[in-house]
Structure 1
Amino acid sequence: MMQLIHEIKEKVLNGEKITFEEAMKLISIEEGDMESLEALYAGANEIRKKFAGNRADLCTIMNAKSGKCSEDCKYCAQSGHYHTGIQEYDLVDYEQVIERAKEMEREGAHRFSLVTSGRGVDGEEFEKLLEMYHRLRKETRLKICASHGIISYEQAMKLKEAGVSMYHHNVETSRDYYGEICTTHAYEDRIDTIRNVQRAGMELCCGGIIGMGESVEDRVKMAFEISQLGVKSIPINILNPIPGTPLGDLETLSPIEALKTMALYRFVIPDCYIRYAGGRMILGELQNIGFRAGVNAALVGNYLTTIGSKIEDDINMVRCEGFEL
């Protein structure tokens, strides 16, 4: 296995593409094979250094509208189809937004995103969001991101004009497994939004969730599908099973399985930001290993419906691993 890891790493470092079969061999390393795992992590780190440099990117999000979502995504606490006991509220006002944005800016975040529940936004609600983004661009130095579900090309253009530089829209899982996760909209609806964002000239943040009952093969398929989309910011979430959702009783993915997946994504997509996202707290004291295994970005602070980590702690961890901010 050590020789195979070395050969695949050298192939990627020389600018060649890893094959699906090679990726499957890498992600199939046994959890007890620590020598091979260390080689995999080190290889991913070497690839990261060559193709993505030594800079880390820290972003933060604000749950700007919570709950009552019409979609039935089986992992989501905000779906109106399930009873999870989360706090529900309509779109927040700008005073709350700018207070949170300024706080995140002071604490060292680089990006700030508003996230709203629901299939998408339109009408008066969309106009309010555009006004918020106009003001955030003027009143902070943060790069402004957005995550508002399925959007049209026209909406994407308006968001860009309002100051949004990056739009977040995950594929969530592989195309083949998607029907097991959501039935109220199709995988292709997500791809349409991704194309609309790219056509409008915004950067795209697009990843998914691992640990939703998918196969290892599905995780690898998602990596190759994201690679084909030309994405440069890839958040990898680890499912935090929420009681009341259809996936609420799943066993949490093991830390080693999560780290293997992140390292594998670096082999598949050498030049992107691979971003720690929701659920990384399951890694516990192993979180720093991700930054030695291809990870070079993180969603910091609290998440949508779960608690994250302190930004100061994340900054210290990233710097201790030799990254520049």
Structure 2
Amino acid sequence: MNENTMNNEIFLCSICNINSGTCNEDCKFCSQSVRYKADIDRYKQKNIEDILKEAKNARDGGALGFCLVTADKGLNNKTLDFVCSIAKILTEEVPELRLIACNGTASVEQLLTLKASGIKAYNHNLETSKEFYPQICTTHSWDERYSTCKNVNEAGLVLITGGIYGLGETEEDRVSMLESLNSLNPTSVPINFYHHNEALELQPNSLTADEALNLIKLTREAIPNAQRIMVAGGRELMFGDRQEEIFNYGANSIVIGNYLTTSGRVVSKDLDMLEYLRLKVAKSVK
């Protein structure tokens, strides 16, 4: 077992798409952009009863983290109010969960408002290297993403930031992204593997399972102070029946349940996998 899972504890996180498919940005990897007309559910605000149900299901499945995700470039007043109202309800109704927000670019002032409502961490991924980013998005800059991550640190929230492998990036791009991530001193680094949708312009992910496992190892080695290396989107598709191997390469956190627009596997299968590997579900965070 990798040294980062020597304590045999795996942090589980669940994500909740509270606003889906309404983004006007042109990120070529994202089916939530209105530009690509992907066949996904689209709605502006998920019903609070449904969000609360998902939160309770996440808690019952062993998740510590619960992430409130919105599909847009960044926070505006309406979205900020919506996320804060949900956070206050969840803090009261499901206090066991550690609330995370993922709402795009944000100012320090906006992040402090989220913090006051009960949000403990903020997720904003760099996605890829600064050099490669213009090839996958032209409607906003990589620098805006990096600045938001710096704002998270300034606001005193836990920073969660990572990226996507399999977008067509080079090895040099991967190293550059990891160096940038490490410079931000994140607590958690989510690794995603591009999950192709036929409506998107990008070519399907050509990585093999062995290559993907080595990218987990590379991420862990490049960001040694991160408490968690999380394997998130694309896990089931990328690794298939080899998912248990990710923990030997440095992962100590996974997303359970469904993703933003794609289905994950049944939570009980992940729990059975962890039990088989004699890995415990984390009950608290440092």
- Identify whether the pair has TM-score above 0.5, normalized to the shorter chain: yes
Is the aligned partner of 1:172 residue 2:130? Answer: no
| Paired position in structure 1 for 2:243 | 287
Letter in 2 for 1:75: F
| Paired position in structure 2 for 1:256 | 210
Is the aligned partner of 1:241 residue 2:232? Answer: no
Return the match for 1:232 from 181, 187, 190.
Answer: 187
| Paired position in structure 1 for 2:32 | 78
| Paired position in structure 1 for 2:256 | 300
| Paired position in structure 1 for 2:279 | 323
Rate the CA distance shift 1:217–1:321 in 2: closer, same or farther, 3 A: farther
Question: Hey, what's the Cα distance between the residues in 1 that align with 2:229 and 2:143?
Answer: 23
% of aligned pairs identical?
Answer: 37
Letter in 2 for 1:264: L
Q: Tell me how far 1:251 sits from its aligned partner.
A: 4.1
Question: Hey, what's the Cα distance between the residues in 2 that align with 1:319 and 1:292?
Answer: 15
Is the aligned partner of 1:98 residue 2:52? Answer: yes
Mapping of residues 12-161 of structure 1, within 5 Å: 45-46=2-3, 48-49=4-5, 53-140=7-94, 141-161=96-116
Question: Hey, what's the Cα distance between the residues in 1 that align with 2:75 and 2:180?
Answer: 26
Whether the 8 Å contact between 1:108 and 1:311 is mirrored in structure 2 is no
Question: Hey, what's the Cα distance between the residues in 1 that align with 2:81 and 2:38?
Answer: 30
Consecutive unaligned residues in structure 1, runs of 5 or more: 1-41
Is the aligned partner of 1:193 residue 2:145? Answer: no
Question: Hey, what's the Cα distance between the residues in 2 that align with 1:259 and 1:169?
Answer: 23
Question: Hey, what's the Cα distance between the residues in 2 that align with 1:276 and 1:54?
Answer: 16
Q: Tell me how far 1:153 sits from its aligned partner.
A: 0.8
Query: Across the two proteins, how many residue pairs are aligned to each other?
Result: 278
Return the match for 2:223 from 269, 278, 285.
Answer: 269
Q: Tell me how far 1:49 sits from its aligned partner.
A: 4.8
Which 4+ stretches in 1 moved above 6 angstroms?
A: none
Letter in 2 for 1:304: L
Whether the 8 Å contact between 1:263 and 1:294 is mirrored in structure 2 is yes
String of CA shifts for 1:203-248, please: whole Å, max 9, x gaps. 011000000000122112211211111012011000011111111x
Question: Hey, what's the Cα distance between the residues in 2 that align with 1:250 and 1:103?
Answer: 32
Instruction: Give the TM-score taking structure 2 as reference length.
Output: 0.93
Return the match for 1:313 from 255, 259, 269.
Answer: 269
Question: Hey, what's the Cα distance between the residues in 1 that align with 2:125 and 2:205?
Answer: 22
Q: Tell me how far 1:101 sits from its aligned partner.
A: 0.6
Question: Hey, what's the Cα distance between the residues in 2 that align with 1:241 and 1:84?
Answer: 11
Letter in 2 for 1:233: S
Whether the 8 Å contact between 2:5 and 2:252 is mirrored in structure 1 is no
Which has the larger Rg? 1
Rate the CA distance shift 1:102–1:49 in 2: closer, same or farther, 3 A: closer
Over the residues paired in the alignment, what is the CA RMSD in angstroms?
A: 1.4
Range with greater deviation from structure 2 (105-114 or 293-302): 105-114
